[in-house]
Amino acid sequence: MFPDANTGYTYEDCKATADWLLTQTGLSPLVGIVCGSGLGGLADLLKDQVVFNYKDIPNFPQSTVHGHAGRLVFGTLKGRACVCMQGRFHLYEGYPIQKITLPMRIFKLLGVETVLMTNAAGGLNQDFKVGDVMIIKDHLNMPGLAGNNPLSGPNDERFGVRFPCMSDAYDRELQQLALDVGQDLGYGDFLREGVYCVLGGPSFETIAECRMLSKLGADAVGMSTVHEVIVARHCGMRVLALSLITNQAVMDYDSEEKANHEEVLETGKQRAEQLERLISTMVARIEHNNNYV
Ligand SMILES: O=P(O)(O)O[C@@H]1C[C@H](O)[C@@H](CO)O1
Ligand SMILES: Nc1nc2[nH]cnc2c(=O)[nH]1
C-alpha cells in the first residue's frame, strides 16, 4: 500500500501494520527507540528478541543508507518491553514525508508512551567537540518552514489535533533524566544541551549555510529526527532526542575539513557503547505513570 500524496497513510493502514506486529510478537512495548546513523548497536542489547526486516513488514519503507540496518527489533531492555528501529528513513531517500514518519504512528498503536531517538549531527556550536552528546531541547525545522511538514494533509483526530503545539516537543523531565543519568555515569564532560536544525540533505552544508544556521541559533545540524518528533508529539508520545556530534560543521574558508559519512560512522563507533549505556540506564528509570525513578 502506498499513501496518497496528500493524505498519507490512513489510521486503518497504521492499525493493520501495528496489529500484524502485535499478533506476531505478543509484546506491547512502552518504550520506542530510533537509532541514528551508525548507532544501531543499541538494538543488539535487547533480550528475548523478535526481529522483523523492514521489507517483511506491511507498509514499511526500506532502509537504503549505510549504517541503517533496516530491522525492527522487539525485546526487553533492563526488563522493560521495548521496540527499536535499527535504521530510520530520511527525506533524501526519496520517500514522502508521511512514509518516513509512519513508524511513529505504528509505535503509538503498539502502546508506546515514550520515544527515545538518536542521530548523528554536525556541530555548529563552537564549544562542541566531536564525540559530544547533545540533548536536544528544541529544533529548527527547515523543510517544515518551507511547507514540508509530516502533518500536512487531512488530519485524523484519532491521532491528534489539527494544530499541535511544539513548544513542549522535547520532554523536559526526560531531558533532566538524561542529564542526571549522564552525571551518574560520569559522562558530564561530553554531555551538552542545544538546538538541532534539520535540513533535507543528502548534500552536507556549505560554509555559508553553516554560518547562517549558527546565527539562527542552531547548535547542531542533521537530516532527520524532527519529522519523527512532530508525528510522535502529535499522537501524544513523550520524546527525548540525542545528537551525537560526529563532525564539526565547517565554518571557515581556511579549513581543510570536509564532512563525510565515513567520519560520521567512525565517530558513532567510538561513542556507541557510552550512548547505549546512557539510553539503557534511562530506560530502567523511566516510569510510565509520568514519574522517573
Ligand atoms: O539518521 P541520522 O540523522 O543519524 O543520519 C545522519 C544524517 C545522514 O543520514 C547521515 C549523514 O552522515 O547521518
Ligand atoms: N546535515 C548534516 N547532517 C549530518 N549528520 C552528521 N553530520 C552531519 C552534518 O555535518 N550535516
- pLDDT grade for 2, boundaries at 50, 70 and 90: very low
Q: How many CA atoms lie within 13 A of 63 on its CB side?
A: 22
DSSP bridge pairs for 134: 192, 243
Residue 163's CB is within 10 A of a number of other CB atoms, namely 9
Question: Between vectors from CA 234 to CA 104 and to CA 137, what angle results, nearest 5°?
Answer: 90
Q: Does residue 177 lie within any of the structural domains?
A: yes
Q: Does residue 138 lie within any of the structural domains?
A: yes
Q: Does residue 4 lie within any of the structural domains?
A: no
pTM listed for this prediction: 0.96
- pLDDT tens profile 57-70: 999 999 998 988 99
Question: Can you give the CATH number for the domain in which 116 is found?
Answer: 3.40.50.1580
**Residue 26 confidence (pLDDT):** 87
Cβ 67 under 6 angstroms from ligand 2: no
- State which residues form the domain around 208: 11-285
122: phi then psi, degrees, rounded to nearest 5: -90, 140
Centroid of ligand 2 to alpha carbon of 267 (angstroms): 12
Mean pLDDT of all residues in the chain?
94
Only one residue has cell 529526527, namely 225
Cβ 264 under 6 angstroms from ligand 1: yes
Q: Does residue 268 lie within any of the structural domains?
A: yes
- pLDDT grade for 16, boundaries at 50, 70 and 90: very high
**Residue 287 confidence (pLDDT):** 76
Q: Does residue 220 lie within any of the structural domains?
A: yes
pLDDT at residue 151 greater than cutoff 70? yes
Can you tell me the ipTM of this complex?
0.99
The count of domains in the chain is 1
Cβ 204 under 6 angstroms from ligand 2: yes
* 88-102, 150-164, 242-256, 276-290: range with lowest mean pLDDT: 276-290
- From the list 157, 160, 59, the residue with the least C-alpha distance to 102 is 59
Q: Indicate which residues carry an active-site annotation.
A: 37, 68, 90, 92-93, 120, 223-224, 247, 261
CA–CA distance, 45 with 101 (Å, rounded to integer): 24
- pLDDT grade for 134, boundaries at 50, 70 and 90: very high
**Residue 293 confidence (pLDDT):** 47
- Are 23 and 228 in contact, with CB atoms under 8 Å apart? no
Q: Does residue 193 lie within any of the structural domains?
A: yes
**Residue 8 confidence (pLDDT):** 74
Residue 256's CB is within 10 A of a number of other CB atoms, namely 6
Closest atom of ligand 1 relative to the 201 alpha carbon: 8
Only one residue has cell 496528500, namely 6
Q: Does residue 292 lie within any of the structural domains?
A: no
CA–CA distance, 218 with 17 (Å, rounded to integer): 36
Residue nearest to atom 5 of ligand 1 (CA): 37
- pLDDT grade for 3, boundaries at 50, 70 and 90: low
pLDDT at residue 1 greater than cutoff 60? no
Q: Does residue 75 lie within any of the structural domains?
A: yes
**Sign of torsion over alpha carbons 18, 21, 27, 29:** negative
- Are 199 and 129 in contact, with CB atoms under 8 Å apart? no
- Are 268 and 67 in contact, with CB atoms under 8 Å apart? yes
Cβ 259 under 6 angstroms from ligand 2: yes
| Average pLDDT, integer, range 83-95 | 96
- pLDDT tens profile 29-85: 999 999 999 899 999 999 999 999 999 999 999 999 898 899 999 999 999 999 999
| Average pLDDT, integer, range 223-227 | 98
